[in-house]
Amino acid sequence: MEKLLSNDTITLRAIEPTDLDLLYRWENDTDLWTVTDTMAPFSRQMLWQYLQDYTGDIYENRQVRFVVTLTATGEAVGLLDLMNFDPLNNRAELGLYIAGEYRGKGYGRHALHLIEAYAAGHIGMKQLYVKILVDGEECLALFRNEGYREVGTLQAWVKRGTTYHDAILLQHLL
């Protein structure tokens, strides 16, 4: 049975203070830093303060964040963000992270379907977009297979060490 933020496989739930250890581990995964523009590790104190101040109000913060969990067990498998929300043009950038041990099981696809229905039906968004590095083949395949259209290449968009890399901009009209 599909609800607003849940189906038989995945549930998107609000981020909570009890997610501190999860955030600490995932936000400090240096393999993700080029994707998230992170420059330095996050301390537990910084993340705790973030969790204390987080309201979940997309109109106030221009962002809303969800923990991707397995519906059957409640086990956290990833994070999903709507960020850079533009209420005038009804669009937001989408960020999706599925932890390594949970990839390839369809959880990302389920999470996308839920967030798209939420964004369109509950918030009234017209479009979502993602920026994915050209070497992110698995991620690009997921979004392309789910109807996101490639609308451009952002040249030299992300710096890794001393080298710049292109990113693909994909858009999905809801």
Which domains are present in the chain?
10-125 (3.40.630.30)
**Can you tell me whether residue 63 is helix, strand or coil?**
coil
Query: How far is Cα 173 from Cα 79, in angstroms, rounded to an integer?
Result: 22
**Nearest residue to 126 via CA among 58, 160, 173:** 173
115 in Cβ contact with 94 (< 8 Å): yes
Contacts of 152 (CB under 8 A, 6+ apart): 168, 169
Model confidence over 105-132: pLDDT tens digits? 999 999 999 999 999 999 999 999 999 9
| pLDDT band (50, 70, 90) for residue 51 | confident
CA angle 73/47/158 to nearest 5° reads: 95
Give the pLDDT of residue 107.
98
Output the DSSP codes for 28-89: T-GGGHHHHT--SPPPHHHHHHHHHH----HHHHS-EEEEEEETTT--EEEEEEEEEEETTT
Give the pLDDT of residue 2.
60
Query: How far is Cα 162 from Cα 34, in angstroms, rounded to an integer?
Result: 12
Give the pLDDT of residue 161.
83
Give the pLDDT of residue 44.
86
Model confidence over 61-85: pLDDT tens digits? 999 999 999 999 999 999 999 999 9
| pLDDT band (50, 70, 90) for residue 19 | very high
Model confidence over 131-148: pLDDT tens digits? 999 999 999 999 999 999
Residue 18, judged by CB atoms within 10 A of its CB (0-12, 13-18, 19+), counts as exposed
Query: How far is Cα 162 from Cα 160, in angstroms, rounded to an integer?
Result: 6
pTM for this predicted structure = 0.91
